[in-house]
């Protein structure tokens, strides 16, 4: 009987240790740092999406770089779900393995996280681009995309003015219409109209995040009709805009593309130094990663919605393109300061923008 009891006790201890997993691995104890696992959709961390930006912030917190993620598997890790039916199992596995923080990116994770978070009330979760999970152990980051997009709209319009174009046309390509992408479009439109109040602006929604051929065909049509610059907030679909812009810049045509989320200057390179991407609207998800990791380290993590805007360095624009006029940058920086100071009012929804004369009628943007 004693042997049986001893066996059961050993089994219980082993099971408990297995359940705790990597709650406090040796590396974590030695460093005093929290542990984190990033869970992504099928796009992973290799593209220039907010997955990549989240990962960049994570490795930076531990003093690493993306190229040399030396503490991967010790203090932090990433798991990519190839299909959405893996979201819940991946969340549960990370929680069972005992990571201090579990971070997910994008609204497609919201339903899975809403189901799993209440099952692990002591687990700290983070989600990007969502504000409706509403669990006390979930920190939700949303961004003032209209602010960063206002800056790239200004860049496009001011560059056209510097080029001496009297009546420039502008385009916007979205992925799947909805409130988040509407913020991108409304900010962009307001930036343009602040320079050219009667500017011609066209938009198109591909209803897909992964069909660059649709954006490429639309961009070609617009560039051929005299559109000067196109801003795409469409995930992988937007790569088609950049591809078409590269072709036309190589032919000597004065047209531009604008990147999104991360700096896409390199994606637009058509010579060693020249890029078809004039600027990019930056959503600095890496700063969200850094923020929540610092809070976890200080033991003051709190659930709830966190808004990241210009004042938090949550959004911005890229100045990487050397062909971006210095006079343009100077004016955009002044406008950026005015937005932060509250001197410039920006509208997030199409309904608000229309009501205040800050957007033209007939756009395809949706506020739902």
Reported as a single tens digit per residue, the pLDDT across 30-65 is: 568 999 999 998 878 876 678 888 999 999 999 998
The answer to whether residues 8 and 135 belong to one domain is: yes
Residue-number span of the structural domain to which 133 is assigned: 2-143
Helix (H, G, I), strand (E, B) or coil at 319: coil
Helix (H, G, I), strand (E, B) or coil at 356: coil
The answer to whether residues 196 and 128 belong to one domain is: no
Residues 6+ apart with CB under 8 A from 207: 175, 176, 177
Inside any domain, residue 277: yes
Q: What is the mean pLDDT of the chain?
A: 90
* Residue 26: predicted pLDDT: 46
Inside any domain, residue 295: no
324 pairs with which residues across the strands? none
Give the model confidence (pLDDT) of 6-38 as tens digits.
344 434 333 333 333 344 444 555 568 999 999
Residue ending a domain, choose from 143, 178, 193: 143
* Residue 12: predicted pLDDT: 39
The answer to whether residues 322 and 207 belong to one domain is: yes
* Residue 41: predicted pLDDT: 87
* Residue 108: predicted pLDDT: 87
The answer to whether residues 175 and 66 belong to one domain is: no
Inside any domain, residue 292: no
The answer to whether residues 152 and 232 belong to one domain is: yes
Percent of the chain at pLDDT above 70?
91
Inside any domain, residue 363: no
The answer to whether residues 227 and 338 belong to one domain is: yes
The answer to whether residues 116 and 227 belong to one domain is: no
The answer to whether residues 238 and 106 belong to one domain is: no
* Residue 261: predicted pLDDT: 87
The answer to whether residues 10 and 151 belong to one domain is: no
- Where would I find the H helices in the chain? 2-20, 26-31, 50-61, 87-96, 110-116, 145-162, 179-193, 212-224, 239-250, 285-297, 326-340, 350-355
Residue ending a domain, choose from 117, 143, 169: 143
| Full 3-state SS string of 14-73 | HHHHHHHCCCCCHHHHHHCCCCEEEEECCCCCCCCCHHHHHHHHHHHHCCCCCCCCCCEC
Whichever domain contains 42, its CATH number is 3.40.50.2300
The answer to whether residues 26 and 125 belong to one domain is: yes
Inside any domain, residue 294: no
The answer to whether residues 138 and 156 belong to one domain is: no
| Cα 57 to Cα 33, 41, 133, 366, distances in angstroms | 15, 18, 23, 31
Q: Does the structure show a pLDDT above 50 at 5? A: no
Decide: residue 131, CB within 10 A, 0-12 exposed, 13-18 middle, 19+ buried: middle
The torsion region of residue 235 among left (phi > 0), alpha (psi -120 to 50) and beta comes to left
Inside any domain, residue 345: yes
The answer to whether residues 231 and 245 belong to one domain is: yes
- Pick from 166, 215, 169, 162: nearest CA to 332: 162
Of residues 5 and 302, more confidence is placed in: 302
Q: Does the structure show a pLDDT above 80 at 117? A: yes
Inside any domain, residue 291: no
Q: Does the structure show a pLDDT above 50 at 290? A: yes
- Pick from 209, 170, 167, 210: nearest CA to 192: 170
Inside any domain, residue 310: no
Half-sphere exposure of 41 (CA within 13 A, CB side): 18
* Residue 32: predicted pLDDT: 82
Q: What is the mean pLDDT of residues 104-125?
A: 95
Domain count across the chain: 2
Helix (H, G, I), strand (E, B) or coil at 138: strand
* Residue 27: predicted pLDDT: 53
Residue ending a domain, choose from 92, 122, 143: 143
Half-sphere exposure of 248 (CA within 13 A, CB side): 26
Give the model confidence (pLDDT) of 314-368 as tens digits.
999 999 999 999 999 999 999 999 999 999 999 999 999 999 999 999 999 999 7
């Amino acid at each position: 009987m004693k042997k049986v009891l001893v066996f059961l006790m050993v089994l219980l201890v082993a099971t408990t240790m297995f359940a705790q997993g990597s709650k406090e691995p040796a590396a974590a104890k030695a460093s005093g740092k929290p542990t984190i696992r990033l869970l992504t959709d099928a796009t992973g961390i290799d593209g220039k999406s907010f997955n990549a930006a989240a990962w960049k912030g994570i490795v930076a917190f531990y003093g690493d770089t993306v190229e040399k993620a030396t503490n991967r598997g010790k203090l932090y890790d990433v798991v990519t779900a190839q299909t959405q039916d893996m979201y819940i199992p991946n969340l549960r596995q990370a929680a069972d393995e005992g990571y201090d923080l579990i971070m997910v990116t994008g609204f497609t994770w919201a339903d899975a996280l809403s189901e799993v978070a209440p099952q692990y009330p002591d687990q700290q979760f983070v989600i990007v681009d969502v504000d409706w999970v509403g669990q006390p152990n979930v920190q939700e980051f949303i961004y003032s995309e209209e602010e960063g997009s206002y800056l790239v709209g200004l860049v496009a319009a001011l560059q056209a003015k510097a080029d001496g174009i009297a009546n420039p046309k502008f385009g916007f390509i979205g992925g799947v219409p909805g409130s988040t992408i509407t913020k991108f479009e409304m900010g962009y439109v307001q930036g343009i109209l602040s320079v050219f109040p009667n500017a011609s602006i066209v938009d198109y929604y591909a209803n897909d995040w992964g069909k660059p051929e649709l954006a490429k065909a639309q961009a070609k049509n617009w560039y051929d009709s005299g559109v000067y610059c196109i801003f795409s907030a469409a995930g992988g679909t937007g790569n088609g805009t950049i591809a078409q812009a590269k072709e036309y810049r190589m032919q000597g045509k004065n047209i531009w593309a604008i990147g999104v989320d991360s700096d896409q200057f390199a994606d637009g390179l058509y010579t060693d130094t020249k890029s078809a991407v004039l600027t990019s609207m930056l959503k600095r998800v890496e700063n969200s990663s850094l923020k929540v990791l610092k809070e976890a380290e200080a033991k003051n993590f709190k659930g709830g919605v966190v808004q990241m805007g210009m004042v938090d360095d949550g959004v911005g624009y890229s100045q990487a393109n050397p062909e971006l006029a210095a006079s343009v940058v100077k004016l955009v920086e002044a406008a950026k300061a005015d937005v932060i100071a509250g001197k410039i009012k920006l509208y997030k929804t199409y309904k608000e923008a229309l009501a205040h004369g800050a957007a033209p009628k007939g756009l395809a943007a949706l506020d739902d």
